[in-house]
Structure 1
Amino acid sequence: MNLDEAEEGVLRDTSDQVVVLCRELGREDLAVRTEDAVARIGRDVLVVAVTGEFKRGKSSLVNGLLGVWVCPVAPDRSTAIPTIFRHGEANAVSLTVAEGQGQRVVKGVPADLDGMVLEGDRDVPGLRRLVAVAEIPTRFLESGFSLIDTPGVGGLGPGYGEAVVNLGGVADAAIVVADAGAPLNMDTIAFVEKLSRACPALVVALSRADLYRHGGAAGEIGEQLSDRGIEADVIPISNSLRREALRTGDAQLNAESGFPALLAAIESISSRREVTARVAAEAKIRGVVGALSREVDARQARAASPMPDWATLVAEARAALDSARKDAARWPTMLNDGVSDAATAAEFDLRAGLRRALKEFEEELELGSGAIRVEEFRGRVQARVQTELAPVFEALESRLAGVERELHSLFESEPADTDVTALPPDLPSEWGTPQGRQNRGLKAAAGGVYGGLRGAQSGIMLVGVFAGIAGFGLGTLALVGIGAAFGGKQLMDERGKRALSRRQQARTAVRQFIDEVQVQAARTVRDVAREQLRRQREVAGERAAACVARRAEALRLLEEERERTVAERAAQARALEAWRSRLDRVGARLASGSDR
């Protein structure tokens, strides 16, 4: 039956309008579905897709329809890509592959199909097989048919659903291959339902029917489909009998294979192809128009929603700007006070620790008796001073890091903007947590506590080296050389002096040594504090300025948005109303066509 050219022209014109509306509304997916549905009308051949689960005999069924054994079949491998069979005297095949950002076509002959389409072959990194096309001369294809052998999917999982929707936009009919031995499981039924909505005509072919009496579960499967309103012929077939019948020309075997009934069903679909394609296209267009109507409804609902509370939003933005300005004004005081307190606490700890050490050694010298072991005593003094200095600088590190964190949190507490382009740059590393940080400035300054100690009056020479410093922590102190009162010639040569005199000299030397350490260490603490103050002032100044600028920009954008929102909403409402009117006209045109 030929379609009336005028009616076909109306349908195509309507579909063109729908496609334009789809693209204006940003629904390219609906535009493609509409174009595919209309493309079926007037098609010269009936495109039949053969689908189903893995290892159900899809490829063998394709061979049975073709009448020649050309579609690859392997017991241990399955079809990996869609394979299209269409009529052609060239008797050639081509494989389209994606490579990098482009595609290329590999040419071959039907004998090459095994390596082209079966899984496991030609799996080269960076190379992805897409589709194979075989042009072969067979009576079936020449009579107006084209077949698509599709890859099987185990369990017909969710990922296959989208592929089925796409396939439905291409094929005029689909053959679902299932096993004749049992009713369809729930996954397969869901698959068939989805396919029936995408494809105009459907046939269910039950393979291996020769292994079961009376077509196996054909009756139950027919009831399953009928219960769900799915119109599909259920036909038991046997691929093995069909192959043997083709080989021997045995008409009885061919009849028993079920293929004559399958071919008759396909011929019946082909005979009403134009009508079916038009009905399916009209149904698809109605569905797309409905989807677009819902899209417009949703947009109109959003456009009609209450206006934002601009007064509150602007007030909040102004408050955020004021807060940023206040923080920008008070951070220097916070920084100065924090660093000063850290330095003061470090000096206090330093004095307290060295006083404890001095008191312990004075008590030892006061209460001790006998000769002083100079080397042993000297080592203990040095080690004791080291143990007092280490926690002082470790505590200084912790306090300065606390100042950093407090300053950091001051700016981080500002609300985040949604406009990422207005955000300030990332903080430099010194704003991070102190763990793992290597602060070379402080490390070098702290090293001067030992490197700079020189007791001119007492003749004490002390050279110190830090090693293995983590953050501001102190490492092992290596001390070399001590003169005058600590092992100088005076102590070593005057062996005859009284022990009390030696202790008094040792006491004086220890006091002088600890005083020198205290002076130099306190100076270093102050130097370190000044350096940290300078560094953090530079970073915090930039950060504060960025925060103020960001808040000012946010306020400006918000005020501009308030001014233009009313006008934009009005324009959007007019555009949506125009879309609604066009959709209504298309819907009325489709309805009048259905009435005819």
Structure 2
Amino acid sequence: MTAPPWLDLLDDTIRACATHERHDLVDRLLDRRAGLLEPGRRVVVAGYPGKGKSELVNALVGADVCPVGTDLTTIAPTVVRHAERPTPLLEASDRSTGRDIGLPRALLGAGLVLVDSPGFGAPGCPRTARALAVLADADAVLVVTDATSELSALELELLVHVSRLCPTVLVALTKIDLVPGWRRVAEVDRGRLAEVGVVAPLIPVSSVLRAAAVRTEDAELNKESGFADLIGCLRREVLTDPARVAARAAAATSGLALEQLITPLRAEFDAGLAPTDTRALSEWQSAGRRVERLQRESARWQTQLADDVGDLLADLDFDLRERTRRILREVDDYFDAADPGTVWDEFSDWMHDALTAVAEVNSGWLVERFEWIATRVARKALPGNDVVPGEMLRALGGSWHDDLRKPNIERFSPAQKVFVGLRGSYSGLLMSGLATTLAGLPLINPISLGAGAAFGARSVFEERGARLKRRQAVAKTAAQRHVDDFFLRYGKEAKDATRTVHRALRDRCTEVAHSLREAAAESARVIKTELEAESARNTARLTQVRRDLERLLALRTRIEAAR
């Protein structure tokens, strides 16, 4: 026996669902496949309560197989199929599980299976869920409404939903015996069906007239009931070509299953076409900008540090020169009056203390100034990093330990005083004696002796004053030389210490800045690598999704052709 064409279509859909691990859809399609392979075509009679649905089933088969009433009588499906004699093929102990009844009817014998489904209720209620479950197994659906009112929004929504579940749809307009203007209602309903895009024949019927016609075997009354048209429509739409009905039902079921596969894949594909993770991309761009900013800041703080140290060296030289000049002025004032020969030891101690004080003050000022420079550089260029180790600053500043060398101070000894006095007195005695000889006095006389003594005393006094001036000049020269030596040597030591700390600070800042740039660059590289890897994964996944979509869309094209 040749398998029907729709079977391959359904099997391909089942395999697609299995490939995408939708086992719930696989189970549902397998059940549907088994149902479609059974003999007979299932026509589900559906609708809202009170529309005459169960009464219409009874009228179709000419037997009271379904309970009717004004309350919710149908709470479970009732299946009516052909049998050689009237018999309930299955009677469940629980009414909620449904019933299966057999009747010897020509319509049923032609392959029609009628299913009276529970009436629809509010969305989500158990009764609605049972009704939808019955519709899922329908080969065709007969939706029941009545002529007492036009199709409501809920009924139109139901018809749209039913047409998606099962392409073969019929509409029965019941209770025409109660509504004189049923023809107008029928025309309005047909127009509303066309508006919502539901292609379904609408057949007006009266179950009461049909029941009376069956009892009285009145063919004219049967025609007036509209059931002859309804049965003819069922034969034409369902029984004339049952294979086509099965194919359309299989296509509808496959299409709904495919939509559940296509929708998430299409959403994933559309999301994959969007830009890569914007957060990661923003982080990568931010890391790149941070690297550039750190490079700019590195050049800026190096220039700033060089300028600050240059200013510091200039200020250091000026401060040291000013302090040493002040000391030299005090030395000049001091030795204008003091004799170096008697106060040199005291002066040497004072000079040592003064120069030590200059060194300490200058060193302290230098350390404070460098602390300010380092803090300023660290705060502006490298916030949050300690770039000035304490030992660097402790190395700043020099010390002065060289003692003042005592100059060769000329002393005026008693022998020198006697010699100078004799030399001066000789001149005075000779000049006075020569002068007094003109007066007839001898060369050596009391006047010449007195003059010689006066000249000798004056010579000693003048020589002592001259020697004091020379000693003071020698002392000033020695102090000047000592201060100059201090200025040169201490200034050299202070400048060397400043340059050492400058280089250490520069190297430390460069090291920290380099580590920050390396960290930022590494962060950028890691983010870029992750972006590239993610992009590669997304590309591969996108390619796979596109292939899956192409296969599913091709399968859907086959399904649409089958519908």
TM-score range, shorter chain: 0.3 to 0.5
